[in-house]
Amino acid sequence: MDRATALAPFHSSPATALVAVDFDGTLSPIVDDPASARPVDGIPEVLEELAGRMGEVAVVSGRPLAFLEQWFPHGSRVGLYGLYGLEARRRGERVDHPSSGVWRETIADVAARAVRTGPEGMEVESKGLSITLHYRQHPEVADAVEAWARGAAAPSGLRCRPAKMSVELHPPIDEDKGTVLVRLADEVGGPVFFGGDDVGDLPAFEALDRLAADGRPVLRVAVDGPEAPLALTERADLLVDDPHGMADLLGDLLD
Ligand SMILES: [Mg+2]
């Protein structure tokens, strides 16, 4: 699909459009230290401007809400959906998933155990309602990290999800980028844009497939690159090379 055709529904019906994007690898380059990830220059401003024009603009990420709020502080019109929608901020209001609170203690226990008993080289990032076990700095321990995650998930009731050079542990709540997107899409009623770079974004692409089957204009955008999953890039309507390419595309939505 050429870019002008892909963006046309958003230019013609901005007030009913939804523009949603992942954060890591999509708005920000992937970095060795996840805490130091930051969006490409200009992206927060472009999303803010889009939020004034489109029906809804949202960042939907596996990161905690507090992390995303660094670039979209209170007063921002950009909706934030952290931990795959378990904690959100919309129109200035904090909205947590009703089933999420009871899992905080389990997550804290498993995170503490991961630090104590996890394989050497595994980095533990506790996010309050989920845990990411990273092996980017030590790819040789990938199998050991995955085995540790599976072993911890079963007795605690948590679920494993694969991600780039990491494994995530989540509460068994059926909330993902797809369910978030469907809710938002239902509210705005018009064209839906989603941009992502990883397997965690596949449920969002699947949600867009279903919306498209119902006749809704949708645009699936994938960030290409050596770590980009084929399942995502093959299904994309548009590919961008990196987060800078995503910044350009989001800027074109404003034109
Ligand atoms: Mg990502």
> Which pLDDT score, from 0 to 100, does residue 101 have?
87
CA of 24 to the centre of ligand 1 (A): 4
> Which pLDDT score, from 0 to 100, does residue 203 have?
96
pLDDT tens digits along 25-59? 999 999 988 889 999 999 999 999 999 999 999 99
The residue to which tokens 């901020």 are assigned: 89
Alpha-carbon gap, residue 245 to 27, rounded angstroms: 9
Query: Residues with beta carbon < 5 A to ion ligand 1?
Result: 22, 24-25, 197-198
Q: How high does pLDDT run on average in the chain?
A: 95
> Which pLDDT score, from 0 to 100, does residue 119 have?
97
CA of 151 to the centre of ligand 1 (A): 25
Does residue 252 carry a catalytic annotation?
no
Q: What does the DSSP 8-state code read for residue 122?
A: P
Rounded to 5 degrees, φ, ψ at 242 are -170, 180
> Which pLDDT score, from 0 to 100, does residue 32 have?
87
Domains in the chain (CATH in brackets) are: 3-96+174-254 (3.40.50.1000), 101-170 (3.30.70.1020)
State the pTM of this model.
Answer: 0.89
CA of 153 to the centre of ligand 1 (A): 22
Of 2, 22, 186, 255, which is the active-site residue? Answer: 22
CA of 25 to the centre of ligand 1 (A): 5
> Which pLDDT score, from 0 to 100, does residue 195 have?
98
- List the single range of 7-16, 69-78, 96-105, 182-191 with lowest mean pLDDT: 96-105
DSSP H or E segment with residue 231: helix 230-233
User: What DSSP letter does each residue of 150-201 carry, written as one string?
Assistant: HHHHHHHT-EEEEETTEEEEE-S----HHHHHHHHHHHH-S-EEEEE-SGGG
CA of 106 to the centre of ligand 1 (A): 25
Strand order in the sheet with 192-196: 93-96, 87-90, 79-82, 56-60, 18-21, 192-196, 218-223, 238-240
CA of 147 to the centre of ligand 1 (A): 23
pLDDT tens digits along 186-231? 999 999 999 999 999 999 999 999 999 999 999 999 999 888 999 9
Alpha-carbon gap, residue 167 to 18, rounded angstroms: 29
Task: Name the 3-class secondary structure at 208.
Answer: helix
Residue 133 tokens read as 């076990």
Phi-psi region of 42 (alpha: psi -120 to 50; beta: other; left: phi over 0): left
